[in-house]
Structure 1
Amino acid sequence: MPDLAPPDLASLRTEIDRIDDALHDLLMRRADLVAHMAASRVKQGGPTFRPGREAVILRRLLERNRGALARPAVVRFWREIIASSLAQQGGFSVATQGEAGVESPLARLARAHFGLLTPLRLHPTPTRVLASLASGEAAVAVLPAPQEGERPEAAWWTQMESPRLHIVAALPFLAPLEAARDGGREKAPPQAFAISPLAPDATGRDRSLLRFEPLPEHSRARILSLLNTAGLAPRWLLRRESPTPMALAEIEGFLAEGDPRLGALPFPRLQILGAYAEPEPEE
């Protein structure tokens, strides 16, 4: 049988235009549904920002993604759709660290996650960023992931008011894969965290951040042993010695107040700073 002639360029463009119209119709319908939900939330007092729900949406779409559409394109497209839905519901802005007129990597990361049109409020220090969130000037704060050996003024996690504020998301949601020591590839750690007055939602695949004050006699090895014995094996652990000894551990799973494993730890002050959806692999 003779080969079928390939469609001409004009026919392909016509088909793309038809698909664009269908997509636009669906997006307008989606916006109408968001407006209806927003009105219901106003009556019921429910939150508009649901990072756990956002993560579940993106995971479902990535799971069903097939063909030539790249995973980063899926996430970028739906992050903008989610951002437009938040904007519809009013008063959503993001505070982060930076200087006016300077597009820092942290600001770019915040814009990529919360949408190009979401108002971004820049402040010179982490303390000012958290103050902007606590005062209600911003709905969400984005700050860089804690690092070992960081300067005291950069260690925002030691200043964060808990349980008034919570870590609710890790950025970026789509994590690049990096070479591991054993020759395999692992997801890169988060570059930043999103903080909100809202409590985090469990998504089924989560990580939690635990802040505590170790006793003077607690070495790093001893802290790791205590966490492992309690069934809270940390993925990573940071420790600061001054001005007050304090440690931060990332724990697999969603930790909630009242978890019996927390009661087995001998630390005098222990707080769950929040939880976030485990990032998805970029590839």
Structure 2
Amino acid sequence: MSANTPLDDLRQEIDAIDDAIHDLIIARTKVVERVRKEKQGQKIKIRPARECSIIYRLMERHTGPFPKRELARIWRELIVATLSIEGPFSIGVHISDEYKANEGFNIMQREYCNMIRNQYGSFTPMSRYPTATKLIDAVKGHEVAIGVLAMPKQREQNPWWPLLASDTMGTPRIIGRLPFINVPQNSSINFDALVICPIPSEPTGQDHTFLIIETGKEINPKKISSALRKADIKQVFSAAWQEKGANPRYLYLVEAIGFITKEDSTILLLSEYLDDKKALIRTIGTYGQPLAL
């Protein structure tokens, strides 16, 4: 029998490392089963801030030539696989009409779903909904665990985000932004989307927050920007929408840097600087910033 070559020895070493990795996955899963017992009674198991913190920490400690993008993808698969052990997990998707009008819609649709699977697992059940309203209702009714909707734009006739301007218990909130694992600019996957789920926000340390300002009268966007600056809220995006009728509603969406809650002093200051006692300011969710790899 021929002696092992140096390459054979290296392969045996890799096999031993693979066995050790597999053993650790088995051990990690046993801990997840204990977590499941602690979460008994909770309808929704997902904790986006915790998931972001895991990835952020691993990216910070990583060394060597193994690419961070692939490492993050491996851990996303691991997180989602164990999440499904804790309880049912599925995705609802609404594909924007903007994409449907494109000649290459079938290709775009496939790439859009691939982007979602990069974050939420290769084998997670995924359902498509014809309208944003139906998807939001499905998330609220726990037909699916999370919903994915196109990133809001400044000028839209029927935006979906006003549907989150509610204090009703179970109203979905923004919990993530996709793609989380960013790809190079020349990639064909160039969709921006937000993820919704009816759970409270938790900080990651690298957050953006979405606010909705609701009033009964129109406010000049410059006044809103000025009030945000005075309240020390750094906006990176804004949009507006009007509901016409006998009692019109004017809604202003703001994406701001940082983790902001409705109890924060900045919200009180913003209300003061808007100089509108009837203005209602809601936080409708947060997300941990995507990786820049």
TM-score under structure 2 normalisation?
Answer: 0.82
CA offset at residue 215 of structure 1?
Answer: 6.4
CA offset at residue 261 of structure 1?
Answer: 2.0
* 8 Å Cα contact 1:97/1:106 also seen in 2: no
SS at match of 1:159: helix
Which amino acid in the other structure matches residue 227 of structure 2? L
- 1:213-252 equivalence runs, <5 A: 213=214, 216=217, 218-241=219-242, 243=244, 244-252=249-257
The match for 2:115 is 109
Label 1:229 to 1:190 Cα distance change in 2 as closer, same or farther (>3 A): farther
- 1:57-68 equivalence runs, <5 A: 57-68=54-65
2:140 matches 1:140: no
The match for 1:11 is 9
- 1:17-56 equivalence runs, <5 A: 17-42=15-40, 45=42, 48-56=45-53
* 8 Å Cα contact 2:218/2:250 also seen in 1: no
- 1:85-124 equivalence runs, <5 A: 85-98=82-95, 103-124=109-130
* 8 Å Cα contact 2:45/2:87 also seen in 1: no
Which amino acid in the other structure matches residue 248 of structure 1? L
The match for 2:285 is 274
CA offset at residue 92 of structure 1?
Answer: 1.1
Which amino acid in the other structure matches residue 79 of structure 1? R
SS at match of 1:169: strand
d(CA) in 2 for partners of 1:46, 1:165: 14
2:245 matches 1:253: no
Label 1:190 to 1:198 Cα distance change in 2 as closer, same or farther (>3 A): farther
SS at match of 2:254: strand
d(CA) in 2 for partners of 1:105, 1:142: 14
The match for 1:170 is 177
Q: Is the deviation greater in 49-58 or in 270-279?
A: 270-279
The match for 2:198 is 197
d(CA) in 2 for partners of 1:133, 1:236: 25
d(CA) in 2 for partners of 1:259, 1:172: 29
* 8 Å Cα contact 1:177/1:281 also seen in 2: no
SS at match of 1:273: strand
The match for 2:208 is 207
Q: Is the deviation greater in 130-139 or in 237-246?
A: 237-246
The match for 2:155 is 149
The match for 2:136 is 130
Label 1:190 to 1:166 Cα distance change in 2 as closer, same or farther (>3 A): farther
Stretches of structure 1 lacking an aligned partner (at least 5 in a row): 1-6, 179-188
d(CA) in 1 for partners of 2:184, 2:222: 29
Aligned length: 263
2:164 matches 1:160: yes
Could you give the per-residue CA deviations for residues 185-233 of structure 1, whole angstroms, max 9, x where no partner exists?
Answer: xxxx981111111111111121100011356552222211111111112
Q: CA RMSD in A?
A: 2.5
CA offset at residue 46 of structure 1?
Answer: 8.3
* 8 Å Cα contact 1:41/1:47 also seen in 2: no
The match for 2:103 is none
Which amino acid in the other structure matches residue 37 of structure 1? V
d(CA) in 1 for partners of 2:72, 2:139: 26
CA offset at residue 11 of structure 1?
Answer: 2.2
Which amino acid in the other structure matches residue 94 of structure 1? I
Stretches of structure 2 lacking an aligned partner (at least 5 in a row): 101-105
CA offset at residue 59 of structure 1?
Answer: 0.4
Could you give the per-residue CA deviations for residues 141-181 of structure 1, whole angstroms, max 9, x where no partner exists?
Answer: 111111122331xx110112534221111112233576xxx
d(CA) in 2 for partners of 1:114, 1:198: 17
Which amino acid in the other structure matches residue 162 of structure 2? T
Could you give the per-residue CA deviations for residues 28-59 of structure 1, whole angstroms, max 9, x where no partner exists?
Answer: 1111110111012216x485210000000000
* 8 Å Cα contact 2:208/2:286 also seen in 1: yes
